[in-house]
Amino acid sequence: MVLTVSEEVREAIEARRPVVALESTIIAHGLPRPRNLKVALELEQAVRREGAVPATIAVLDGRPRVGLDKDQLERVASEDGIRKLGHRDLPLAVASGASGATTVSATALLAALAGVRVFATGGLGGVHRDWVRAQDESADLGLLARTRITVVCAGVKSILDVPATLQRLETLGVSVAGYGTDRFPGFYLSDSGHPVDWTLSSPQEVAAAMRAQDALGAPESALIVANPVPEAEQLDPGLHARVLADALHACQEQGVSGQAVTPFLLDHLVRHTDGASLNANLAAVRGNVRLAGRIAAAWAGA
C-alpha cells in the first residue's frame, strides 16, 4: 500500500473509535510561521478534547500519510518547498517522491481511502465568479461528488460565486445541510445571503444522515455540513463587502487569472482588513473542528 496510516489512527479505525481528518494546506500555505504550527497543534488538541483522534493528512517524500506525529507536523509547517497538492497531483507526488500539503480534495480522498468518514476544514472551493469566461471551478466539487465522506465546513469561500456553487453541488448530487441554520454560511460571514434546503441540529442527526446514505446504497457522494462562524466572530459584513469589491477590481486590473486568483484575493482580504479576515477564518476552522469531533463520536457510537 502506498498509503501510510499512523498507528494511532489505524487502531482507532479498527476499533471503530471516532477519527477526524484534517487538511495540511492551512499549515503549510494558509498561515505565517511560527503561528501555523501552533494552530496545527491546537486543532489536533481540539479534536482530542471531543474524544476523537486527529488525522492530519499530508504527503511526505512521496508517501501519503494519514495521521502525522509532531516531527512531521513541524516539517509541514517549517520546510521550504512543501507543495500544495490537490487530488490530481497525488500520483505525480508519489511517483516523484515529492512532499506536499493536501487541499480539501486530496485530504478527502486520502481520508476516505483510509476509512476515515469525518473531515473538518475551513471553507470549500467552488465556482469562480468569472466562470462564464474562464470556466474555473474547484476540483473539490467533482471529488466530493464521488467520495463518501462528511465534510464540516463554513460554506465556501466568499470570494467565489456562492449561488453558482450551490447549484453545481445540486447538479453533482452532493448533499448539503446547514448546521443549526437554514442559511448557507459565507466562510468569513455567518450568512452568505443564500438559503439551504435542509437543517441538521445535532451531531446525532448528522450521524443519522450518514447512516441513511449507506443504507440507501446511493452513489458514493459526500455530505456537506455547513457550520456558520459565530456572528460575534465573523468579519464585519460591511468591511467584507468593501474590501472584497476592491480585491476583485485589483485582480482584474493586474490580470491575475487561474490558480493565482484565490490566493491573491485571500491575501488582499488579510492585508486590507488588518488581519480580521484571518481571525474569522481561524474562528470558523476551530468551530468546525470541534463539531467534527462530536459528529465523529456520534458516528462511532451508532
Q: Which of the residues are catalytic?
A: 23, 157
The residue assigned the cell 463520536 is 297
Give the span between the Cα atoms of 107 and 104, in whole angstroms.
5
**What is the residue-wise DSSP string for the chain?**
---EE-HHHHHHHHTT--EEEE-SHIIIIIS-TTHHHHHHHHHHHHHHHTT-EEEEEEEETTEEEES--HHHHHHHHH-TT-EEE-GGGHHHHHHHT--EEE-HHHHHHHHHHHT--EEE-S-B--B-TTHHHH--B-HHHHHHTT---EEEESBB-TTS-HHHHHHHHHHHT-EEEEES-SEEEETTEEEEEEE-S-EE-SHHHHHHHHHHHHHHT--S--EEEE-PPPGGGSPPHHHHHHHHHHHHHHHHHTT--GGGHHHHHHHHHHHHTTTHHHHHHHHHHHHHHHHHHHHHHHHHT-
Q: Which residue's C-alpha cell is 484575493?
A: 265
Spatial CA neighbour of 288 closest among 182, 209, 203, 191: 203
